[in-house]
Amino acid sequence: MKALSIIRCIPGIALAACIMAFTLMPAETNGQDYNDLSRYIMNPSFVGEYQEPAHVPMVIFDNDEDALSGEWHSSPYYRTLDGKWKFRWDKSPFDAPAGFYLPVFDHSEWDEITVPGTWQMQGYGYSLYRNVPLEFSPYDPPNVPMDFNPTGSYYRTFEVPEHWDGRRVLIHFEGVKTFFQLWINGEYAGSNKGAMTSAEFDITGFLLPGTNSVAVRVLRWADGTYLENQDMWKFHGIYRRVYLWSAPKVHVRDFFITTLFDNGYRDATLSIEAWLTNQSQEQVHNLTLKAELYDDSGNMITSFSERQSLIESGGNAGIVLSRQVPAPRQWSAEKPNLYTLLLKLEDAGGNSLGILQHKVGFRQVEIIDGILHVNGVPVRLKGVNRHEHSPYKGRTMDMKVVEEELKLMKKLNINAIRTAHYPNTPAFYRLTDKYGFYVCDEVNVECHQGENWLPNVPGWEKAMVDRMEKFVIRDRNHPSVIIWSTGNECGLAPAHWEMAARARELDPTRFIMHQSNHPNGDAPFADILGTRYPHPAGLAAVGDTTQRPVIMGEYSHAMGNALGHFDEYWEVIYSNPRLQGGFIWDWMDQGVLFDLVTTPDRSNYGHQAVLMGNPEILPGRSGENNKAVGLSGLDDFIELTPTPAQDLRTQVTMETWIYPRGFVNHNNLIGKGYALDLAQISPSRVEFTLHTHRRHSLQAELPANWNHNWHHLAATYDGREMRIFINGQFAGSMPATGRIMRVRNPFTVGKNHMINNENWAGYISNSVFDDVRIHSVARSPDMLGWNRDAAPADDHLVVWLDFAQTDTTGTFYSYGSTPMSGSGSMNGIIAFNRVPEPEAWQAKRSHQPVHFEALHLPSKRIRVHNRHHFTGLDELETTWMVKRDGVTIEKGSLGLDTPPLEQEDIVIPFRLPADHDMHYYDLFISARLREDAPWAKAGHEVAFGEFHLNRTQVVDPLLIPPARQWEGSSALPLRLTASGDLLIVAGDEFEYTFCNSEGKMRSLKFMGEQLIESGPLLNVSRTPIMNEVSIWGIAEFDSIYRWGLDSLVHELKYYEIIEESAERVIIRYDVTSYSMVRRDMKFDNRFLYTVSSNGMIQLDHTVNPSIQIPVYPPRHIEWLQKMGLSLTLSPAVTNLEWFGKGPFETYPDRHTGAKTGLYSVNITDIEIPYIIPQDFDNRTGVRWGKILDGEGRGFAFWGDETMNVAINPYTNLETAWYPYQLERSTKPVLNIDHRVTGVGCTPVTARERYRVYPTEYSYSLFFLPLYDKY
């Protein structure tokens, strides 16, 4: 969690100087030379200096036992430097203390920071998320800001063991972002760019006896930043491990392991190409390099060696060892069999020069007839893109947590990972080797903002090739790595050809993908076509027109509530052998845990105002006793929780005291989306923008002394005219009319969500704000804050932030972007805390390696497809069961032994009772682990099949299980009474109240308890899911909201009592539901209520839409979000039970991962599973449901077709943007929907078959009171 920065002025220092201390303007250089530093950080051909050549991560052991364990801490030649370091953060390298790296420098007053770790997650600097652009401006490669370039200075001491004397000592950094320089004992030792790969330095010559010191200076931005323009949170510092290791002067510098099978894939040749180095002062002769291979029980399988006759002093030599291994156990994602290799170097006298260890997997990757094979078998990659992300540590990975992630992936039938978009921490690959994953390893090259031109600019080739070379050498010994990627969203340029050529030179055993947007996931040198984000039909077309393997680099963008039509993708994939899978975007939501820092709103409304980012609390315009908020330009801002009071449609005043600190970009001051915006648009002009039926823009000239002085700025609109006032003086006006646009955005200070979204390039506001006020009327000049110390305490003052007080009221998870246009950081199928989201279960089902197909259910014939590549079904326990109305009545086992990639037809010996048309009968088949696996216990379900056995739909309502208890019961006569505009229908223990003026049920009571308080009424909208507001898709909710279909106005047109008797009352209501914006957008409803004497209500609903599509906007309303009814439940209702898909939410295009069954939930336990509030909790295929109170009183409901059922337990789901803003309702809303549009997957919207089009619908629902004590 980050802490809010509080800046206090020192007595005797001017107020202005104190505020200016955190500007983006030039600062003193503090002894640092700009030109010298620019040589390092604005020169892409400079990639580092004094580094050791790249090599496989290694540490030297001195005995077999420790070497076989592979535990580096067991080596006497390894010392970690992880832990506490002295640390200081400054806004630029010029402010960082000169000479801090000297041992005589006094670091005693410095803070301590944990290494590895990002400085943002430890309370320093600014963390933010951007998708496409960089966060600074201008975009001017290779130049980066200098006067504002956050800098971390690290310092610590260490001891070198005595037994390391006479040996080489190397310091190894696994990852430092972005650019760093290294000093040992005050002496400069080297530098590095390339934040996602290792850098190693020989520090032997710098060491002293006893205590030594290491100092590191890290800069946030360097030219390498332009190649690290990834879609992710921006974190910095020494974020991966740092350690020392020691080697003799003569040792193995690097080695490359390959395995090659014979034509029958039985026996294999193990080869090791090793490079020896002699850093001694003499020639060395007759070295022996010995290889020993051990199985997982510690038994030596084979041993072989080679001699090197001579290495000159300071020279290197290559040596190749090779041995045939008979019938080794093969490595694959399903069978990740590993051996342990020991490499032993001995001198001419047989003395050990050290032992190295590495795991070996016998695995061979080939492309045969345009199809990717592993060990001679065609494979499909069921993958995810995975960022390295922790909500608590940023980019720093806890490997125990990562290991649990990989186990969860295996449980979800995920067998492949793309390291999007950079090489991961080295320990990650040891785990993917162990658990079995196919890894597409990606180089740290992404230049998304300038992707189509930057890589073509001369001078960047060396940096790009260097990154490729380092990570290929580092990772090429891992059997899990089967594909190299030449980068993401960085165009296609000659440098990429060089990268591919270098990768093939270093490793001819693997294949190459290229992940550009243009061309789409392809390059002429790519072995694999990595097409990105096709729709299913587009994917099929790609497969029909290529002779290469097709593995989608990114697809099924899982932003928020998503992963729709995922089955369709895999149906297409299995239809063509060249379609070999892909990588879902992506694995985990990138939420970050921050402190929830609030400042009181002094208006009568008391809005919640939250300080986002890491703003500073500064002295205000009146001095030390007055407070203000200073913003950095790096996504600091103030956001108000949306409320109806902020929906200003007719008049407005926005005013603030502001201390500008230099114009660095479009400087948004106060905004509310596209509706209202007050911004500085240039060094000399301010603009007031509002939208009515069109955009209105008023500009005014700023005073000459604008920067570094306090000013009062105000903008007003009275429905006829827009005005700007500066320092109480009229500065400009223009005529404007109309109601202010209706938007969902909250008011913000220092940012406008619709302008400064995740695709905003550069800084946002870096000003200081004091006394921000927003009014619902156009204030006259004499009523503005320029003339008054206090605003009128009336209801027209909607917001008043004086920043006199800030409070940390808890924590929250931030997504760092703008959900109103989609949030690129929230794309995971698991949540930030590694809990599967509902999409994860669909991924598991669509990926499942066993598929059950109904051939002919009446004859009980099922076809079993074993889609495993290397696993027979004899390794799984396969069972079946038949359920009647959700209760198991028969079950058995299947002794399947279907070989991999084969199919088998079976007959399941169930007996369908004679009453099968009077009950719901379902057949389930389950395949589970027979024995424990490293990632799951025996009994874990790998795959399942579900089949409905009924020949016809169960339509008689009295055959629905909740209704059967009423069959044949004696019912009292119905009583119909009228009271004003109310009709009351009463019977045995029930009373239903209908409202003739509204055309709806006003109340449903049973056994004296009110269960329904209002409804049902037509509802055609839902709180938008992220896919429905994404500007990457078609943002279809924009049209729904713009034209008011999210909030219908219902008017009764006609009502009639059609029948009134002791057995039955029939009431008809004709209701027209209008858009709240346009009356020509309407739905004509007929509600026909039939109440029977046993209490059952049959509701026949016919709805006929009449929607005139406007010419504007161009994104028309083509389909609705749903078609159904909403009912408000009473506070007494506590439980929902249902017979349908569950237990988690499902949608029409994402439901096969759930099983049909009997489920129940306490309404208080229903919580949104997403960080960004959006529609959730839908249940598809519901055959019947129950709503119950705590005593078991309630009602059952069902339809003539299966239903969609959802509970909304919140009052403000539609307006909240964070879970902390959500307010639970005492009267939850029950949605019973006839049709629901699917969720789709950005940028591919819901497919046509899953859309609800505005056409006529007719259906019936049934309600029956019941007493079901549980």
Nearest to 1209 by CA among 1156, 1173, 1172, 1158: 1173
Reported as half-sphere exposure (CB side, CA atoms, 13 A), residue 1259 has a value of 19
Q: Is 489 a catalytic residue?
A: yes
Q: Which two tokens stand for residue 862?
A: 């099922």
Nearest to 275 by CA among 244, 306, 245: 306
Helices (H), 280-354: none
Contacts of 302 (CB under 8 A, 6+ apart): 270, 292, 293, 323, 325
Rounded CA separation 174/475 (Å): 13
SS3 category, 813: strand
Q: Which two tokens stand for residue 746?
A: 């909250």
Reported as half-sphere exposure (CB side, CA atoms, 13 A), residue 366 has a value of 14
- In the sheet with 365-368, reading across from the earlier edge strand, the strands are 365-368, 371-374, 377-378
Catalytic choice (135, 200, 446, 489): 489
Rounded CA separation 254/1054 (Å): 86
Helices (H), 507-554: 536-544
Work out the angle at residue 303's Cα, subtended by the Cα atoms of residues 298 and 305, and round it to the nearest 5 degrees.
140
Radius of gyration of the chain (CA): 34
Instruction: Give the CA distances from residue 1189 to residues 956, 1179, 1193, 1195, in Å, rounded to whole numbers and listed in that order.
Output: 26, 20, 5, 10
Rounded CA separation 567/843 (Å): 9
Contacts of 992 (CB under 8 A, 6+ apart): 984, 985, 986, 1001, 1003, 1004, 1005, 1091, 1097
Instruction: Detail the DSSP E strand segments found in 65-150.
Output: 78-80, 83-90, 111-115, 128-130
Neighbours of 1108 (CB within 10 A): 10
Contacts of 632 (CB under 8 A, 6+ apart): 22, 126, 613, 614, 615, 616, 766
Q: Which two tokens stand for residue 232?
A: 């992710």
Backbone angles phi, psi at 646, to 5 degrees: -85, 0
| Length of the chain (residues) | 1270
Burial annotation 721-753 (CB, 10 A radius, 16+ → b, else e): ebbbbbeeeebbeeebebebbbbbbbbbbbbbb
Rounded CA separation 197/472 (Å): 10
Bridge partners (DSSP) listed for residue 655: 714, 773
Asked whether 751 and 743 are in contact (CB, 8 A), the reply is: no
Q: Is 1137 a catalytic residue?
A: no
Nearest to 135 by CA among 190, 101, 178: 178
Which DSSP symbol is given to 1252?
B
Neighbours of 596 (CB within 10 A): 18
Nearest to 123 by CA among 210, 1, 220: 1
**Between 461-475 and 426-435, two packed helices, what is the crossing angle to 10 degrees?**
40
Asked whether 590 and 788 are in contact (CB, 8 A), the reply is: no
Catalytic choice (554, 616, 946, 1036): 554
Nearest to 375 by CA among 1071, 869, 1092: 869
> Do strands 481-488 and 511-515 pair parallel, antiparallel, or not at all (unpaired)?
parallel
Rounded CA separation 690/696 (Å): 5
Q: Which two tokens stand for residue 982?
A: 């109310």
Q: Which residues are catalytic?
A: 489, 554
